[in-house]
Every structure is written in C-alpha cells, then in structure tokens.
Amino acid sequence: MLPTGLGSGLLDSVEYFVHLAIVLVPLFLGASFLVGLTGEYLPPETIERTLRSYDEGTGNVAAAGLGAVTPFCSCSTVPVLAGLLQAGAPLGLAFSFLLASPLVNEIAVLLLLGLFGIEVTVWYVVMTFMAAIVGGLVIGRLGVDAHVKNVRIVNNTNQAAVADGGTGDRYSGKTTSTEQTHRQHFETATSDAWAFFVDTFPYLVLGMVIGALIHGVVPVDVLQTVLGPENPLAIPLAALAGAPVYVSLSGMLPIAASLSEQGIAIGTVLAFVIGGAGVSIPNLILLNKLFDRRLLLVYAGTVVAIGIIVGLAFNLFLV
C-alpha cells in the first residue's frame, strides 16, 4: 500500500497529466500540420539557395527568419548548414540560422501560447529571434571560420549534401515544388503532418509524464532550493540542466509548464527550455561532424548565454 502522501501526489500527477493532454495534444496536431505545410513550401534546398545570396547584416536577419519558420530537426538543419558554409556563406549568417531553428518555430509558438499565454510567447519569440541575429553577428566577427571542418554531410532523409555543398534530391524523378498544385501541397502536408505527429507524439507524452510527476510527487521545497530565487545560480543551472534531460522541444515544454506551476520563475523555466533545445546531446553529436571542438564550445556557450540573458530579462523586467 502506498504512503498517504505519495498516493495523493500520484493522483495529483494523473490529474495534471490529463490537463496537459487536453491543452497540448490539439495544439500539437495543429503545429504538426504547420510543420508539414512549411516543409512543402520551404524545403531545405530552397532555404539554402535563398540564403546564399545574402551578405552579413541583412543576411543574419533573413537567416534567423528562415530558421524560425522552418522547424527542421537536427538531421535536416545540419546538412543545410553544411551546404551554406561549403557554398561560401558567412559563418555568422549560418549561425543565425542554426540558433533560430531550434528555439523559434511553430511548435514552440503554439505550445508556449497554450501553456503560458500570449505575453510570454510574444516576448520569448522577440528575444530569441533577436538573440539569433546578434549571436550570428558576434560569431561572424570572432574569426573562427578556420574551425569549420571540411566535410560532406549526408542527410538520411530524401535530402543529401551534394558535391558543391548544396542539398540535392536523391530522387531525380520527384515532382518539384513548382510543379505541384496547392491541393497537392496540402495533401502532402497532411500526410507529412500525421507522420511527424506519430513520430514525435511519444516525446510529448514522455514530457507530460515527467511534468506530471514533477507537479505531483517532487516536493516544492526541493525545486525551490535548486531553482528558486534564493539561489543566485538558478538561471545558469537551469540553462545547463536542459541539455542532458532533453527529449524534444515538444517534450521539454510540458516539463517547463510543471516547473512554472510549482512556483519556479518563468525566466528560469525558459532558460531551461532554451538550454535543452539548443544544446541537446543529439544536436551536438551532429554538429561535431561539422565543427571542431572549439567552435562547438562557442556554439554551446552562445546558446547557454542566450538562455541566461532571456531568463534574467524575464525575471527582472517582465514578470
């Protein structure tokens, strides 16, 4: 028989899991469709071709914008990044794309909106978008171009890095975007959305389970000791802690919602999300094929710095 406190805590966890499911599953379905639709009208090779024509400055804005509206996973982002760099795009421009891609996208916007409301969502998008632009500009001035490895990255989907560093379709007979009607785009987007939803839904469920257990079982005083306002290192710790527990952005946000429900400041929670989304272990493994150790540390340090800055801004000025 379970102890009284644990039994009531588990019951509370079940109730919170149901609450998260009611809020997040419909939003996640809608986000999945937007992901599929975006992939139809803005495939990776189009992103790469567009960004090749930009220089530093306006190119950083364009790169961050395209990174924000194209929610590629790491397995697609890294080949596009490799193609940009091997085609001679400025490193800073490529970094703006790389920084924006995991932090600002349709999934993040819709799930944040459902969990935290419009004000938090708008400020999060504005700050992370600006951080991607500024981060790319700063890294472009550091003179670290020599730390990019001269490798050929191949994506295990239908896109591959070709000899000139660009992305090419493995299936030469495939209908191109310009040859398809809008109806065909929507039909393909719907099919891709369902496949994306099925593939990613287990991570959302895992995140909801972890979030529900945090809400119902983990003592509030433990969370407050580690991540509460009395700990001056709470925000840096949160930004660093996100990486090893990362399951996917869709899985991170339910955990973030639970931490917020337990009284953790919203800035600290968002630092946790940013750190996990940008410095995830799978992302670092793929980037290790493209960057040497020093540039990989620059990237990881930049993401953690963004998490800390955004977290401090929320806690000091916006909450």
Assigned domain for 176 exists = no
- Digit-coded pLDDT (tens) for 35-90: 667 667 666 677 767 777 777 778 899 989 888 877 555 556 777 777 777 777 78
Give Cβ neighbours of residue 90 (< 8 Å, ≥ 6 apart): 55, 56, 59, 140
R_g (Cα) of the chain, nearest Å: 20
Give residue 279's pLDDT.
78
88: helix, strand or coil: coil
Residues 21, 189: Cα–Cα separation, whole Å: 24
Percent of the chain with pLDDT over 70: 72
Report which listed range, 117-131, 194-208, 279-293, is most confident. 117-131
Long-range contacts of 175-180 (CB under 8 A, 24+ apart): 177/40, 177/41, 177/43, 177/46, 180/40
| Secondary structure of 205-270 as H, E, C letters | HHHHHHHHHHHHCCCHHHHHHHHCCCCCCHHHHHHHHHHHHCCCHHHHHHHHHHHHHCCCCHHHHH
* Neighbour tally for 171: CB within 10 Å: 8
Assigned domain for 78 exists = yes
Token pair listed for 220: 């509030």
Query: What is the rounded end-to-end Cα distance, in angstroms, of the chain?
Result: 42
Percent of the chain with pLDDT over 90: 18
Higher pLDDT, residue 28 or 300: 300
Residues 319, 312: Cα–Cα separation, whole Å: 10
* Average pLDDT rounded to a whole number, residues 104-133: 88
Contact of 160 with 168, CB cutoff 8 Å: yes
Question: What is the phi/psi pair of residue 108, to 5°?
Answer: -60, -45
Q: Where are the beta strands (DSSP E) in the chain?
A: 159-161, 167-169
pTM for the model? 0.73
Question: What is the phi/psi pair of residue 47, to 5°?
Answer: -60, -50
Give Cβ neighbours of residue 220 (< 8 Å, ≥ 6 apart): 262, 263
- Expressed as residue numbers, the domain containing 304 is 4-171+181-318
Closest to 57 measured CA to CA, from 141, 178, 170, 152 = 141
pLDDT of 159 > 70? The answer is no
Which secondary structure element, helix H or strand E, spans residue 87, and what is its range? none
Report which listed range, 3-17, 93-107, 221-235, 299-313, is most confident. 299-313
Q: How many domains does the structure of the chain reveal? A: 1
Residues 282, 76: Cα–Cα separation, whole Å: 12
Higher pLDDT, residue 272 or 207: 272
Give residue 128's pLDDT.
94
Give residue 168's pLDDT.
40
Contact of 56 with 140, CB cutoff 8 Å: yes
Give residue 244's pLDDT.
65
Which residue carries 């567009």 as its tokens? 50
Residues 277, 68: Cα–Cα separation, whole Å: 13
39: helix, strand or coil: helix
Assigned domain for 9 exists = yes
Residues 298, 300: Cα–Cα separation, whole Å: 6
Closest to 15 measured CA to CA, from 263, 250, 213 = 213
Q: pLDDT class for 29, splitting at 50, 70, 90?
A: confident
Give residue 276's pLDDT.
80
pLDDT of 142 > 80? The answer is yes
